């Protein structure tokens, strides 16, 4: 992925958090908790569970719709599956050849099912993380986590990182564009150029940190950070939290796909 491309994705995701929908207005703690419960529930299925995972697509579908997130963008992001996961997943069909399911003459091995299950899990869990950011925004997630016990130092650290991510991504975009323009073919993309380029970037970053520190001191910084964000956990947030949790747990123990399938095959047989 090129710099510009990944940076655009970052910016878009950041913008989404400024939406004005019912989900955006919820207490970030409720959204963080629901997302975590969702991820743990999805992960908790056995490796051969596939059909039972499918109803869990309801969560991203509802959140994307109500939160007015661009479905195409989220889908594309999720479908860029990590090559590492694919690499590991693809071994399942090789090592697990025992036929588990038979549809007419075709036998499907356990390996293929668990491999597909891994792919579905990837989509569900990564989708949940992206959606959480899209309807909440990193600063709000950060203060939610802080209220839930994350050390202040880390919260401040994440906020600083996030703030300067935009500045530095632009800066590194400029230097690498300048490099590419003058490196014909592949020459000039080697490690020597790279290290001096990154070294320069590092030194400039260091100087920037010094200037930021200066600006903080100039306004009386004494080690404390204050932010205005106060949330109150209201009835809506409670309903959101318990509603989804109840659904996740029910879907965990009751295979909706199987039920619907049985219903349908029952009707036709």
Subset of 73-92 contacting another protein (CB under 8 A): 77-78, 80, 82, 84-85, 88-89, 91-92
Subset of 91-120 contacting another protein (CB under 8 A): 91-92, 94-96, 98-104, 110-111, 113-114, 117-119
Provide, rounded to whole angstroms, the least separation between the CB of residue 82 and another protein: 6
Q: Is residue 239 near another protein by the rule CB under 8 A?
A: no
Please state the φ and ψ torsions of residue 20, each to the nearest 5 degrees: -120, 65
Q: Decide: 43 and 121 in contact? Cβ < 8 Å.
A: yes
Distance CA 95, CA 39 (A): 27
Subset of 13-52 contacting another protein (CB under 8 A): 13-14, 21-22, 35-36, 39-44, 46-52
Provide, rounded to whole angstroms, the least separation between the CB of residue 238 and another protein: 18
* H helical segments located in the chain: 3-16, 22-25, 28-43, 58-66, 71-79, 83-89, 91-95, 110-136, 138-147, 152-182, 191-218, 235-253, 256-268
Q: Is residue 147 near another protein by the rule CB under 8 A?
A: no
Provide, rounded to whole angstroms, the least separation between the CB of residue 26 and another protein: 12
Q: Decide: 96 and 110 in contact? Cβ < 8 Å.
A: yes
Q: Decide: 10 and 56 in contact? Cβ < 8 Å.
A: no
Q: β-pairing, 99-103 with 106-109?
A: antiparallel
Provide, rounded to whole angstroms, the least separation between the CB of residue 243 and another protein: 14
Q: Decide: 92 and 118 in contact? Cβ < 8 Å.
A: yes
Q: Is residue 68 near another protein by the rule CB under 8 A?
A: yes
Provide, rounded to whole angstroms, the least separation between the CB of residue 234 and another protein: 16
Among 9, 73, 147, 231, binds another protein (CB under 8 A): 9
Q: Which is nearer to another protein, 147 or 156 (CB)?
A: 156
Q: Which is nearer to another protein, 51 or 231 (CB)?
A: 51
């Amino acid at each position: 992925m090129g710099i510009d491309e990944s940076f655009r994705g970052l910016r878009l995701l950041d913008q989404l958090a400024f939406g004005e929908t019912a989900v955006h207005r919820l207490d970030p703690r409720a959204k963080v908790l629901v997302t975590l419960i969702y991820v743990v529930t999805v992960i908790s299925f056995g490796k051969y569970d596939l059909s039972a995972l499918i109803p869990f697509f309801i969560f991203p579908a509802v959140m994307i719709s109500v939160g007015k997130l661009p479905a195409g963008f989220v889908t594309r992001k999720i479908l860029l599956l990590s090559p590492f996961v694919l690499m590991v997943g693809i071994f399942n069909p090789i090592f697990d050849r025992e036929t588990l399911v038979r549809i007419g003459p075709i036998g499907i091995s356990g390996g293929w099912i668990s491999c597909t299950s891994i792919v579905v899990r990837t989509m569900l869990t990564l989708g949940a993380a992206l959606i959480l950011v899209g309807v909440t925004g990193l600063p709000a997630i950060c203060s939610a986590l802080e209220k839930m016990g994350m050390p202040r130092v880390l919260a401040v650290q994440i906020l600083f990182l996030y703030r300067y991510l935009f500045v530095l991504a632009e800066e590194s975009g400029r230097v690498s564009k300048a490099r590419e323009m003058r490196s014909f073919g592949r020459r000039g993309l080697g490690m020597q150029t790279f290290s001096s380029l990154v070294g320069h970037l590092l030194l400039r970053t260091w100087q920037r940190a010094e200037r930021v520190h200066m600006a903080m001191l100039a306004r009386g910084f004494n080690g404390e950070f204050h932010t205005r964000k106060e949330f109150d956990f209201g009835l809506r947030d409670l309903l959101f939290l318990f509603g989804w949790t109840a659904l996740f747990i029910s879907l965990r123990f009751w295979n909706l796909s199987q039920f619907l399938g049985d219903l349908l095959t029952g009707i036709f047989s």
